Structure 1
Amino acid sequence: MSRHSEAPRRITAPDIRARKGGDPIVCLTAYTAPMAEILDDHCDLLLVGDSLGMVVHGLPSTVGVTMEMMILHGQAVMRTAKKAMVVVDMPFGSYEASPELAYANAARILKETGAQAVKVEAGATVAPTVKFLVDRGIPVMSHVGLLPQAVNIDGKFKAKGRDEAERAAILEAARASDEAGAFAIVVEGVDETLAPEITAAVKAPTIGIGASADCDGQILVVDDMLGLFGWTPKFVRRYANLKDEIDKAASGYAADVRARRFPAAAETYSLSKARQARVAQGDKRG
């Protein structure tokens, strides 16, 4: 049997879309090859999110993320993820100006990373762009509700859909994305009664983050879920506390280095007994 035939079948956009109303879709973000390798067995979809700007690069928001950053991390994730579908966020400024610009940038992302789809934040004007991309062979995941790339409009990250006008706008954005052909829709940071309404109104599966358990799937930023930061958003459940574990490990390492307990014999290389004897006799030949 060839190595190619032994490779696991990668989940595709039609597979995800077919999960509407079925088994919940498991999604997490991934930004690096080691993390993608760990998560691949457990997730249906891995998102190379532009949240990497804040999580990995220390930016204050996602606005400063570039195409080059998204492609670099997308390539890293694709090197080790073999089963999960991989989606790459389109960064701020890469798709809003025109459908043609969006297509050029989306095509570049897919060509240079090998990922299966892109994701866009679906404001009022984005649905035609989603359709433009889908009609030209690029699977698109849309994102409604709290839109991190629009943080400068709101001044901060805050939940959405708490008044009727906002609820109507979010629901319309979701419907427009659905009609444009998005294979899935991320619903972020909305009133818990709105997410089920969106889920019922669209044919595409909804992926909740700070939304509702009634969505067709869920996604979290993996670093939040693993407890790598001191502050945790309200909608995150910590499944580990790695920040404290890393702090403890680094403290132990520092103490051992300062006390000259590391490296010890187990962590060093030694000459063979024959070589030691020759060195002791002053023979420096190999």
Structure 2
Amino acid sequence: MTKKMTITSIKKSKGVTPLVMITAYDALFAKLLESSSDMILVGDSLNMSFAGKSDTLSATLEQMIYHTNAVAMGAKNSFIITDMPFGTYVNKKEALKNAITVFQQTTADALKIEGGEDKAHIIEHLCSNGIAVCGHIGLLPQAFRSEGGYKVKGRTKEEEEQLIKDAQAVERAGAFCMVIEGVKADVAAVVAKSVSIPVIGIGAGKDVDGQVLVFSDMLGLFEEFTPKFVKKYMNGAALVKKAVGQYADDVKSKEFPQDIHTY
């Protein structure tokens, strides 16, 4: 994008142009992704795809700050959202303290918080103190242990009604947009229509206001598993392995370096 998105332009996109959000964790990939993204999310998913952990729960505030600064160096013209990691917003006081730390130590444009009605008071507290917030409802990766796994939402009428309540509570609290994850497509469409701010889907069908994917999933770099909702746009892992294998072969056969690579 030639012009950086703002909270105003993001909100105005609802019903007009689908928003493109993608994760990034370092300057190298952030720079590559910037031209095609409306927003870059520094997701706590880095704990899995970048750090090799089995879930997101052990990601720390220090990690998120480090990776946010790296992303900001690579994508200087992107609207950057940073995930608040597990345990950093358990109450209003801790949430504001940690949010201020992120805002003071990075150039993040906004923070993302998981939760609906139950976290609305925290979102409102942050927004009233100058912190821009992106909400996150539906399947909540940080709550997967308490829920007994990663479970798709919106399968019952009760869940649909709660998702609508969650979305509307997040909007009333002051969030400028929200992510909706792992929700039945027809229900996600209803939820998106129930609020006036953009609802960005991941595993929530196409009838929302935009999409977000983890870059290492969509590029086929992460091999451990592929969620159903991910479309691989290239087989990155195979391409990297092939290239590195060719390099190894060239080194062993002394095909590399050649004269053009030598001082």
User: What TM-score do you get using the length of structure 2 for normalisation?
Assistant: 0.96
Q: CA RMSD in A?
A: 1.2
Structure-2 residue corresponding to 1:67:
61
- The count of aligned residue pairs is 261
Residue type at the aligned position of 1:191: K
Partner deviation per Cα, 1:91-119 (whole Å, 9 max, x = no partner): 000012x1121111111111111110000
**Identity within the alignment, %:** 43
Instruction: Measure, in 1, the Cα distance between the counterparts of 2:116 and 2:63.
Output: 23
Structure-2 residue corresponding to 1:251:
245
Instruction: Measure, in 2, the Cα distance between the counterparts of 1:164 and 1:92.
Output: 29
Is 1:32 the counterpart of 2:36? The answer is no
Structure 2, unmatched stretches of 5+, are none
User: Which residue of the other structure, out of 183, 191, 205, is the alignment partner of 2:176?
Assistant: 183
User: Which residue of the other structure, out of 114, 118, 126, is the alignment partner of 2:119?
Assistant: 126
Shift of 1:164: 2.1
Instruction: Measure, in 2, the Cα distance between the counterparts of 1:36 and 1:185.
Output: 21
Instruction: Measure, in 2, the Cα distance between the counterparts of 1:226 and 1:14.
Output: 30
Instruction: Measure, in 2, the Cα distance between the counterparts of 1:57 and 1:129.
Output: 29
Structure-2 residue corresponding to 1:48:
42
Shift of 1:9: 4.4
8 A Cα contact 1:86 1:116, kept in partner? yes
Structure-1 residue corresponding to 2:204:
211
8 A Cα contact 1:46 1:87, kept in partner? yes
Shift of 1:160: 1.3
Partner deviation per Cα, 1:5-25 (whole Å, 9 max, x = no partner): xxx643222221111111111
Is 1:84 the counterpart of 2:84? The answer is no
Structure-2 residue corresponding to 1:4:
none
Residue type at the aligned position of 1:222: F
Larger Rg: 1
Runs of 4+ in 1 over 4 A off after TM superposition: none
